[in-house]
Amino acid sequence: MAHLIRHKITNKITNTVHTVSHKSQAKVSGVFARLGFQAATDEEGLGFAECDDLDYDYRQGMQMDVMQREDSGHTEDGGEDGDIDGDSHYQRDGTGPRGTLKSSGSLEEVKPKITSWEAGWNVTNAIQGMFVLGLPYAILHGGYLGLFLIIFAAVVCCYTGKILIACLYEENEDGIKVRVRDSYVDIANACCAPRFPTLGGHVVNVAQLIELVMTCILYVVVSGNLMYNSFPGFPVSQKAWSVVATAALLPCAFLKNLKAVSKFSLLCTLAHFVINILVIAYCLSRAREWAWEKVKFYIDVKKFPISIGIIVFSYTSQIFLPSLEGNMQRPSEFHCMMDWTHIAACVLKGLFALVAYLTWADATKEVITDNLPYSIRAVVNLFLVAKALLSYPLPFFAAVEVLEKSLFQDGGRALFPDCYGPNGQLKTWGLGLRVALVVFTLLMAVFVPHFALLMGLTGSLTGAGLAFLLPSLFHLKLQWRNLLWHHVFFDVAIFFVGGICAISGLIHSIEGLIEAFKYDLPD
C-alpha cells in the first residue's frame, strides 16, 4: 500500500513538471517561429505530444503492473492479465513491430516493406535510365570539366537526397528522431508555415509536374529520333515517327495502377544495361582510333551550361526519395544505399560518356546511338524505343496523380469536381483530360524535337531546383538548430552554385532552342 501511495505522489509531481516543461517549450517555439527557424508545425507538435503521452502511459502502466505483481505475490507462470510479452518490443523509433490501430481497436495489416537492395534498384532505375544517352554530348561541349561535373553532380545529388530525408524527421524531448512528415510537399509546407502553410507544397507540385511532363515529352522525342535514324531510307520524318509512338501510348490514359507496367520494369532496365554494354563494347573495339587529343579543358561557353542541365537531369531522383525511405524495412540503411547507388552511377556514367566521346569525338550526336553503324544501330535503337515506350507510363501516371490530387481531389478544396464517380470509376471527362495530356506531350515533341536542348532545359528549370536549391534551403530552415558550421557552409554553397547553374543553363537552353528554330537546325 505504501508503494502505491508513494507512486501516486510521484505521478502528481511528474505531471506538473511535464506541464510546465511543455508550456515553456511552446514559448521558446514561438520565439523561434518569429525568427523563421521553427521546424514543427502545430500538427507536428500535436503528433509529438501524442507520442510522448503514449510512451508515458506505457511506462507508468508497466510500473503499476510490476508493483501489483509484487503486492499480490504472483506466481512464476503469471496470469493472463499480467502477461506483457506482447508489449516488450515497444519502440518509439519505429524499429520494433508496429501496426496501425483502426477505430475499432484492431490492427491493420502492415504493408510489406522493401529491402535496401530493392530501394537501391529503384534509385538506380531513376539515375541510370535512358538519359545517359545524352552524356557524351555533354563531354563534347565540356571536355574534362564535363567529366568533373558528372562526379560533382553525383556527390551533390547524393548529399541533397540525404538532407531531404533528414527534413522528414524532428527530435522529440528525449532526443529521439521521429518521422513527422511523409513527402516532399509536406517538407515544403512546413517551411512556409505558419504564414503560408500550403504555398511550398504548391511550388513543389508545380516543379514535379513540369519535370514529369517534360520526362514524358523526352520519351516521345527520343522514340521518334531513334526510329528515324534506324530506318533512314523510309519516307517518314522524325515527327511522323513521334506520332506513331504516341499512338502506341494512348492506352496509358486508361491506367488505374502501374501493376501491369511494373512487370516490365526489370526487363527494360536489364535490356538498357545490355545496350550500354554493347555500345561500350563497340567503342572498345575502336580503341586504337580514340581521339584523346580532342578531350581538353576548353569549354564551349555558350553550350556548356546546357551540358550542366543534361548532367543534373540524369541524376534527379529526389521526387520519390521520401516515399522510398518510408517504405524501407531498415530506414537506417538509407544513407548507405544512396552512397553505393550514386558511386556506381558516377563510375558507369563517366566511363560511358568518355568512351563514347573518344570514339566519335566532334561527330558525337545528341543521342549517342545515332553514331553507331547502321547494322548495329537498328537493333539497339529498336530495344531503346521499346524501353522508352514502356518507361513512359511511369512519369505519366505520376503526373496524372499530381494533377488529380491537387485539382480534383483536394479534400473538398479542389478547384474542380472529382473526376471519379461514387463507385471509383473514372468519369468520361476525366478520361478525356488524360488523353489530352498524352496529346500534349506529342505536340511538344513534334514542335520541339531537340532531345539534348529539352533535356538541358528541364534539368536547369526543375532538376536543379528539386535536386539542389530546395533541399539545401529546406535543410537550413528546418534543421537550423541542429546544424554544424560545415553543414551550413555546404548548404549555402550548393544553393548558390545550383542557382547560378540553373539560371545560366535555362538562359542558354532557351537561346539554343530559339537558334534551332531560327536557322532550322537538324533535330
CATH of the domain at 328: 1.20.1730
CB atoms inside a 10 Å sphere around CB 144:
14
Which candidate, 46, 11, 12, places its Cα nearest to that of 26? 46
Alpha-carbon radius of gyration of the chain: 27
pLDDT at 62 over 70: no
Q: Model-level pTM?
A: 0.70
Establish if 26 belongs to a structural domain: no
Establish if 139 belongs to a structural domain: yes
The DSSP symbol for 328 reads B
Establish if 78 belongs to a structural domain: no
Band (383; pLDDT cuts 50, 70, 90): confident
* pLDDT at residue 59, rounded to an integer: 39
* Stretch (H or E) spanning 179: strand 177-179
Q: Of 148 and 398, which is predicted with more confidence?
A: 148
Q: Of 499 and 266, which is predicted with more confidence?
A: 499
d(C-alpha 127, C-alpha 348), whole Å: 11
- Report the length, in residues, of the chain: 523
On whether the CB atoms of residues 133 and 367 are closer than 8 A, the answer is yes
Establish if 4 belongs to a structural domain: no
Q: Of 78 and 507, which is predicted with more confidence?
A: 507
Establish if 244 belongs to a structural domain: yes
DSSP bridge pairs for 114: 328
User: Domain tally for the chain?
Assistant: 1
Highest mean pLDDT among 1-5, 63-67, 173-177: 173-177
Lowest mean per-residue pLDDT among 147-151, 182-186, 519-523: 519-523
Share of the chain above pLDDT 90, in %: 21
| Domain extent at residue 312 | 116-519
On whether the CB atoms of residues 380 and 369 are closer than 8 A, the answer is yes
Alpha helix ranges (H) inside 231-333: 238-249, 259-262, 265-285, 304-313, 321-326
Establish if 189 belongs to a structural domain: yes
What are the φ and ψ backbone dihedral angles of 420, each rounded to 5 degrees? -115, 140
Establish if 8 belongs to a structural domain: no
What does the pLDDT look like over 10-50, one tens digit per residue? 565 556 555 545 544 444 444 444 444 444 444 434 343 44
CB atoms inside a 10 Å sphere around CB 421:
11
* pLDDT at residue 478, rounded to an integer: 92
Helix then strand then coil, % of the chain, to nearest 5:
75, 0, 25
Cell of 73: 505475490
Which candidate, 33, 58, 35, 56, places its Cα nearest to that of 45? 33
d(C-alpha 94, C-alpha 116), whole Å: 16
Establish if 50 belongs to a structural domain: no
